Structure 1
Amino acid sequence: MSVANGRALLAMPGPTNIPDRVLQAMMRPAEELSSQPILDLTGSLLNDLRLVFRTKGETFLYAANGHGGWEAALTNVLSRGDKVLVLASGRFAIGWGEMARFLGADVEVLAGSWRAAVDPVAVEERLRRDTNHEIKAVLMVQIDTASGVVNDVQAVRKAIDAAGHPALYMIDGVASLGCMPFEMDEWGVDVAMSASQKGLMTPPGLAFAAASEKALQAHPHATMRTPYWDWTSRMSPPLYMKHCGTPPEHLMFGLRAALDMVLEEGLEAVWRRHALLAGATHAAMTRWAEGQVLTCNIEEPSQRAPSVTTILVQGDPSSITDYARTVCGVTLGLAIGDLAGKAFRIAHMGHVNAPMVLGSLSAVEMALQAQNIPHGAGGVAAAITHLSQSA
């Protein structure tokens, strides 16, 4: 007997739950593409993206997904043949590096673990050996949604500085922007990118990039530049050039509503909410792990992401994910990359509150009981205790 009827709940790491306010903002007629309302909307979005990235640099908006944001970041500052150092900690930095290689970069991967964050000491050591400064950029994700790790952006910046290396520092913030602290200017990030479908609560289809002054100085010399992604064109006054064609109006209407929600709540409050809900998830996972079948993929608690938790399973994780979806109406994230078929993921990012996260955890615990999967009892109770003591 299914109890899934009712409003379905997404507990997967993108696309995330879209607020009604965002959906309603999109349910309107189109505007003339070069009209004053669209001009004003474009300007307000680019300005408020600066607030979210915490930068005084330039921001850019693209009709694209996160992979498009990767390409925008790479092509605007790099040249074919440039050496790029990719800091591995799961799937997505590797994917960004694969794109850089396809575009003509010479890519080196600094090996990492699927179960731990990037080691700043190893980064400093590798850059110190690059005495001729052949490495032109360092690529890292702040949160890898496949492994569930959070990397320390500030610590890696300090490692780059300690090595005295001039490489551009480039960060993927797809799963972190709007979910946890990100201080682009304060932490010395040169290029950052993100997308709409996770912490920013908007349907997939928008990608964002932000550029420091150092990145803008590198831009004119980049030979990877292509017309669609090009910052020079998008910084020119005509509205048509800022979008390289027709603006993605309805996604922009939605993003405007989403950014209004973020700024009304307060960015720091948004970060705190995500930290609390992640803590509740980790408390439940710690209790479940007592059955020695489930375990958190990221071993060090301080390195667990505030937006998604990846859970390793001895056996077939589909017995949990299928049950949660068909019986409870909760869609959990499937594992990808090296963890495919070995894990599942619980997202706690974007438009989420305590009842939503507790509902997702309850569906997991219900599946564990129904499927007779060994686990420590009281995971949801531990999550409630965490929130009652912390919220």
Structure 2
Amino acid sequence: MADRGGATMQNPVFIPGPTNLPEFLRKAVDMPTLDHRSSAFADLLHPAIAGVRQVIKTREAEVFLFPSTGTGGWETAISNVLSAGDAVLAARHGMFSQRWIDMCQRHGLAVEVVEAAWGAGLPADRYEEILTADKEHRIKAVLATHNETATGVVSDIAAVRRALDAAGHPALLLVDGVSSVGSMDFCFDDWGVDIAVTGSQKGFMLPPGLAIVVFSARAMQACATAKLARCFFDIRDMGRSNAAGLYPYTPPVGLIAGLRLAADSLLAEGLDVVFARHKRIADGVRAAAGAWGMPLCARSPDLYSQTVTTICTPPGFNATGIVTRAADVYQTAFGTGLGELAGKVFRFGHLGQLSDMAALSGLAVLEMCMADLGLPVRLGSGVAAAQEVYRTTAVQPMKQAA
């Protein structure tokens, strides 16, 4: 990227993924060719899987690493445990919950969709009503988006598990944790999750290219009777190969090497510290939005995401103009509004490797863009509000794995 003076430069990105690459992880991915049928590959693969298991807080669930993205992870989840015509329960409350629903429908699944407002969380109480009424246990899986990246809303996955248990329902719980795992607390075992999906390019701070999928024992059992077509994403092939330290096809060796180090880094920093760091930075961004007089898309504080904040601009103003000007004039990237929020919001991603100072620079750029476009925002007001958050809370430096 070149600045207006012609010099090569790279500003941090403030999109909710792919995230900024820490230099030590960029170097880990940039490695010489390795024979993936040698024991050296197993020395990368098995520790990477073990590290993911710790980050996602499971003791015995199976972890699979596919050359793909979160979308491929969604397909892995449904194709390995479901059959054509199976009923699935899902809520539509943002762009990414909608995309998973669309995928299920394309696979010939019968999706019962619960509509919720964009900006609201997943309606666990409505799930419980539907599951309780399903006396024949027609519903085979419940889908839940933990962190809706379009709206900046986090949903209570433990509440979904409680709904399933209260209804006495055996449906599998499938959770999209693409923009939460590694940045926000995700308790696979304690929440009773059956399949969790994430990717390399978010909380693990790597380039896109790995779909990371975690299966419980119940989900593994369901694979034996599932009839949806699967080949590339067949966890049985992947599991057999992984057990021998191998891959069923050519693996993305560099990304797996990076994942091993990324998981080690998160664990070395301490997961609680990682989560607190994300919350601190998010609190500063939210304070800035308040100083600008701009509401958040998330409808209440209990729904605030710690990885992305979706900020509403005044009615009649095209929010996409802020993002475009930031990119064209100040060489800085923010997220646009998606779906029914297009033109109404902009998104500030604050996950992965991000510091207070970087967040403040992003807020300063946003203020310049808004002032340039005629919004009544006083330069420095949002930055000052965020500074008050950052200067009055403890700073925890990000650690690297040894």
Q: Which residue of 2 aligns with 1:353?
A: 355
TM-score by length of 2: 0.92
Q: 1:225 to 1:53 in 2, by over 3 A?
A: farther
What is the CA deviation profile of residues 316-360 of structure 1, one whole-angstrom value per residue up to 9, with x for unaligned ones? 113321232233321111111111122111000111111111111
Q: Which residue of 1 aligns with 2:61?
A: 57
Distance in 1 separating the partners of 2:331 and 2:106 = 40
SS of the aligned residue for 1:224 comes to: coil
Q: Which residue of 1 aligns with 2:312?
A: 312
Q: Which residue of 2 aligns with 1:281?
A: 285
Letter in 2 for 1:77: V
**RMSD of aligned Cα (Å):** 1.8
TM-score by length of 1: 0.94
Q: Which residue of 2 aligns with 1:253?
A: 257
Distance in 2 separating the partners of 1:29 and 1:354 = 35
Instruction: Report deviation, 1:54.
Output: 0.8
Bigger CA drift: 379-388 or 233-242? 233-242
Q: Which residue of 1 aligns with 2:386?
A: 383
Instruction: Report deviation, 1:238.
Output: 6.1
SS of the aligned residue for 1:17 comes to: coil
Q: Which residue of 1 aligns with 2:398?
A: none
Question: Sequence identity, in percent?
Answer: 38
What is the CA deviation profile of residues 83-140 of structure 1, one whole-angstrom value per residue up to 9, with x for unaligned ones? 0011222111121111111112111111111011112211111211212111110001
Distance in 2 separating the partners of 1:98 and 1:243 = 30
Q: Which residue of 1 aligns with 2:372?
A: 370
Instruction: Report deviation, 1:49.
Output: 1.0
| 1:115 pairs with one of 114, 119, 127 | 119
Distance in 2 separating the partners of 1:242 and 1:97 = 33
Letter in 2 for 1:182: F
Instruction: Report deviation, 1:361.
Output: 1.0
Instruction: Report deviation, 1:298.
Output: 1.1
Q: Which residue of 1 aligns with 2:45?
A: 42
Contact 1:34 1:240 in 2 (8 A): no
Contact 2:48 2:257 in 1 (8 A): no
Does residue 18 of structure 2 align to residue 15 of structure 1?
yes
What is the CA deviation profile of residues 214-273 of structure 1, one whole-angstrom value per residue up to 9, with x for unaligned ones? 111211011115122122222215678953201111211222232222122112211111
Q: Which residue of 1 aligns with 2:95?
A: 91
Q: 1:313 to 1:2 in 2, by over 3 A?
A: farther
Q: How does 1:60-79 map to 2 (within 5 A)?
A: 60-79=64-83
Does residue 181 of structure 2 align to residue 177 of structure 1?
yes
Distance in 1 separating the partners of 2:106 and 2:217 = 27
Distance in 1 separating the partners of 2:313 and 2:242 = 53
| 1:328 pairs with one of 303, 306, 330 | 330
SS of the aligned residue for 1:139 comes to: strand
SS of the aligned residue for 2:392 comes to: helix
Distance in 2 separating the partners of 1:374 and 1:295 = 15
Distance in 2 separating the partners of 1:231 and 1:253 = 21
Contact 2:320 2:342 in 1 (8 A): no
Q: Which residue of 1 aligns with 2:194?
A: 190
Q: 1:134 to 1:376 in 2, by over 3 A?
A: farther
Distance in 2 separating the partners of 1:225 and 1:239 = 23
Distance in 1 separating the partners of 2:5 and 2:334 = 16
Distance in 2 separating the partners of 1:242 and 1:29 = 18
Q: 1:284 to 1:207 in 2, by over 3 A?
A: same
Structure 2 unmatched runs, 5+: 395-402
Distance in 1 separating the partners of 2:68 and 2:338 = 22
Contact 1:3 1:329 in 2 (8 A): no
Q: 1:72 to 1:108 in 2, by over 3 A?
A: same
Letter in 2 for 1:382: A
Letter in 1 for 2:76: A
Q: How does 1:133-148 map to 2 (within 5 A)?
A: 133-148=137-152
Contact 1:65 1:205 in 2 (8 A): yes
Contact 1:235 1:242 in 2 (8 A): no
Distance in 2 separating the partners of 1:133 and 1:124 = 13
Contact 2:46 2:245 in 1 (8 A): no
Instruction: Report deviation, 1:2.
Output: 5.1
Aligned residues: 387
